[in-house]
Structure 1
Amino acid sequence: MKVLLFCLSFSLLCKVVFSHNGGEHDDDYERGTHDSHHHVFANESIACHKIVPSNSQFASRLFKQITDRNPLDNIFISPVSISTALAMLSKGAKSKTHDEILEKLGFNSSEITKEEFNSCFQHPFYVFNHPDCELQLDSGNALFIDTKLKLLQSFLDDVKRNYESEAFSSDFTNSDEAKNQINSYVEKRINGKIPELLSSIDKDTMLFLINVIYFKGKWEMPFNEEFTSEGDFHVDENTVVKVPFMRRTGMYNVLLSENVTMVQIPYKGNTSALFILPKEGKLRHIEQNLQESTIKAWKSKFNQMYVELYLPKFIISTTLDLEELLDKLGIAEVFSDAADLSGITEQVKLKGSKAVHKAVWSVDEKGTEAVAAIKIVTTRLPTTIVINRPFILEITNNDIILFKGRVINPAVA
């Protein structure tokens, strides 16, 4: 049994603004008219709304598995990146292996066509790279193929057409060379932020599949660096760490309930960061019972409030081996000897050996190159909200979950 090694995703979310440095696209895509863009967006949006509820459930179940296994760690993942890589892999899977992946990603052939399913995972990347969008989501799908392996042309055509995947020839018998080739690709796609995704690679690898996603956002209302000062973050009842806290007074969507405080901080564009702060001692209870339907219900109770908000500056990074986690979610056969990946190649029998996910989020004051001052004239005193104990976060574009995480200790990267 030969080995298929695939990296489900490498993800970087960075709030600092950079110039656009996306991958190459077909000339027709670059020269597309406004009307054609509008038509694409409309179709993608319709497809996404059909699959979003099921895919949100997948994200919630995956997040729960990770937090249960890592109760004391910072966690940060990109559900849309993981789903995209699995959807791309499904193009080469057959029989039960194929059906298992699609079912757990929320594909229901009676409700959504395969074309709409593919469109759903393309949607965020089209939207963020639209000329009118003030946010950008750089992405890259790549196949690193052993020099001895010949892939089916139908598979190559399929992943290129539906996922704009690039293909590279690799000599995995020279593991250091192959590792450097893949690390170089990742480093280039995310502007050099992570120089080394892989520390080693198995010489028996025949195919390496990777999805890279890099979010660049601008706070709609940036924080003033002059107001940032050091404060206490209460990791637990016995541990307090000093971290810099950003401060801003303004209008925010807020929920103040018995067990949770929730604040929505918008980016420019139709994307926002949601900070969920459980009451002291309630974090595990909230995590155990947190569903997207719960978050949706909480959002329906938002009030616009005048708030003095204190938010810690931090960088969190998570690297996960997902094979066992995916197995618990019902995506198991692709990692077993029973795997049917004959839609990729008929030369050898492949199976998945490793699924790696890495995500990084950097939060600071920066938001845009030039922002006019926003002044709010009010006679009310602001409600003070201090995010100074473990919290849950979610980054969404409409209903698409781009990133999801939990911060236990912002002083630990």
Structure 2
Amino acid sequence: PQPAPPANQADSSDPLAQAPAVAPTVNRELTQAHLDFGLALFDQLRQATPNENVLVSPTSVALAIAMAYNGAGGETQVAIANALKIQGLDIDQINAGNQALTQYLTQLDPEVALEIANSLWVNEKLPVRADYIEQMRTAYRAEVAVLDFGLPTAANRINDWVKARTRDRIPTIVDQLPADQLLVLVNAVYFKGAWSEAFDPAQTAERSFSLANGDTIQHPLMAQSGDYRYLETDQFQAVSLPYGNASLSFEVILPAPGIDLAEFSAQLTPENWQSWMNQMRSRPGDIQLPKFQFEYEADLIPALETLGMGIAFEAGQADFSGLTELEAFINQVRHKTFIEVNEEGTEATASTAIGIMPTSIALPPDSPFEMVVDRPFIAAIRDRQSGTLLFVGAIVDPR
């Protein structure tokens, strides 16, 4: 076994150890559940597109689903708890824990921008329980807005909120909203941190990078020397690059030559992950790291079904009686992320949108009007999409 660090040296593999004044408020069981859920979700998404970049924010997804969980009942509530790995916690522990964790993370390092925001968008024509709305306001500090989902501006309002919370990096999270959408829950996470020690751009050079298929490309790799928390086994190398005051860090795990990423990922269990983080020790070394930037998006429903949440997506089976008197189910879970890593540091952002839909409902019809076209009138033919007027006329004598 590795020797323990000196007692006076905080183990930076555990950021909670660095903030003793705040740490007691954080529910360790909940943070463990987030880790377990996050790695399980990442594994599902990575397997779905093994030859493409994947980036998921477990925090964003877990917070959005937790908001939906507050309105779930019966088997649906049990299924969501199992998928989120929170079976041992009651609703008050989950809500208080998420609130404390959000507060803790966003105040962790004054040198790093870390913002977490929630919102709840409600259909003005459908019933959503007032106590549910109030719970979202208090426990998740959700901004609440009541919209007419029949108008195209409804999706724009939600997208504008996400765009603002992600500093324009994620301009849209929902496309079109059905007029009978009951509500949409949205989470946004934004992170921007400078490396504790910036990379010198003069050291960045085009170097070889081997792709999964064996091809080699030339790509800009940054280079730096220093003391880093590091771990090496016959399976992999791991290094931790700190941001700001070193409360937050960028973990890089590189499978050994000859071990492909898909094969190695099978070892990425919560137990192994925590063991590796705890075994890292400060060592001098040289590192080369690619600069990169990409966007990722996924429909999370297939992955969440595999993780046991299937009932929540089944019309007629799902139970969201805690948020509405109508029969309702989750009809969409969209997740979008963005990341850029360069010499200065990292910018990463994520948004998760969960749509909840009534099983079958006819919206109450508007009261009938009467229009008698019995005098001269204007008529037009136009393209609704662009607003182009193809014809416009005045009819004064219809004979």
Whether TM exceeds 0.5 here: the answer is yes
Cα displacement (A) at 1:191: 1.8
Counterparts of 2:129 and 2:225, CA distance in 1: 57
Equivalent positions of 1:5-404 (< 5 A) are 41-45=22-26, 47=27, 49-109=28-88, 112-130=89-107, 133-174=110-151, 176-269=152-245, 270-282=247-259, 283-337=261-315, 338-346=317-325, 348-367=326-345
5+ residue gaps in structure 2? 1-18, 352-399
Counterpart of 1:228 in structure 2: which amino acid? T
**Change in 2 beyond 3 A, CA 1:163/1:124:** same
5+ residue gaps in structure 1? 1-36, 369-394, 396-401, 404-413
Give 3-state SS (helix, strand or coil) of 1:343's partner: coil
Counterparts of 1:276 and 1:286, CA distance in 2: 10
Counterparts of 1:237 and 1:94, CA distance in 2: 47
Counterparts of 2:86 and 2:212, CA distance in 1: 41
Counterpart of 2:302 in structure 1: which amino acid? E
Q: Is the 8 A contact 1:44 1:122 kept in 2?
A: no
Cα displacement (A) at 1:190: 1.6
Counterparts of 1:156 and 1:335, CA distance in 2: 21
**Change in 2 beyond 3 A, CA 1:192/1:54:** closer
Cα displacement (A) at 1:43: 4.6
Give 3-state SS (helix, strand or coil) of 1:60's partner: helix
Cα displacement (A) at 1:198: 3.0
**Change in 2 beyond 3 A, CA 1:223/1:115:** same
Counterpart of 2:70 in structure 1: which amino acid? K
Q: Deviations over 1:337-360 (max 9, x none)?
A: 2111121121x3211111111111
Cα displacement (A) at 1:322: 0.8
Equivalent position of 1:29 in the other structure? none
Counterparts of 2:208 and 2:42, CA distance in 1: 27
Give 3-state SS (helix, strand or coil) of 1:128's partner: helix
Counterparts of 2:291 and 2:94, CA distance in 1: 37
Cα displacement (A) at 1:230: 1.5
Q: Is the 8 A contact 1:125 1:137 kept in 2?
A: no
Counterpart of 2:301 in structure 1: which amino acid? E
Q: Is the 8 A contact 1:128 1:135 kept in 2?
A: no
Q: Is the 8 A contact 1:261 1:276 kept in 2?
A: yes
**Change in 2 beyond 3 A, CA 1:227/1:58:** same
**Change in 2 beyond 3 A, CA 1:132/1:278:** closer
Give 3-state SS (helix, strand or coil) of 2:308's partner: coil
Counterparts of 2:145 and 2:52, CA distance in 1: 36
For these two proteins, the number of residue pairs brought into alignment is 328
Counterparts of 1:223 and 1:122, CA distance in 2: 35
Structure ranking higher on relative contact order (CA contacts 8 Å, 6+ apart): 1
Q: Is the 8 A contact 2:223 2:289 kept in 1?
A: yes
Cα displacement (A) at 1:124: 3.7
Give 3-state SS (helix, strand or coil) of 1:311's partner: strand
Q: Is the 8 A contact 2:239 2:253 kept in 1?
A: yes
Give 3-state SS (helix, strand or coil) of 1:326's partner: helix
Q: Is the 8 A contact 1:317 1:359 kept in 2?
A: yes
Cα displacement (A) at 1:113: 4.4
**Change in 2 beyond 3 A, CA 1:128/1:208:** same
Q: Is the 8 A contact 2:78 2:87 kept in 1?
A: no
Give 3-state SS (helix, strand or coil) of 2:149's partner: coil
**Change in 2 beyond 3 A, CA 1:123/1:242:** farther
Q: Is the 8 A contact 1:233 1:243 kept in 2?
A: yes
Q: For the aligned residues, what is the CA RMSD?
A: 2.4
Cα displacement (A) at 1:204: 3.5
**Change in 2 beyond 3 A, CA 1:349/1:225:** same
Counterpart of 2:113 in structure 1: which amino acid? Q
Cα displacement (A) at 1:200: 3.0
Cα displacement (A) at 1:136: 3.0
Q: Is the 8 A contact 1:152 1:344 kept in 2?
A: yes
Give 3-state SS (helix, strand or coil) of 2:343's partner: coil
Moved more, 112-121 or 159-168: 112-121
Q: Provide TM-score, normalisation by structure 1.
A: 0.74
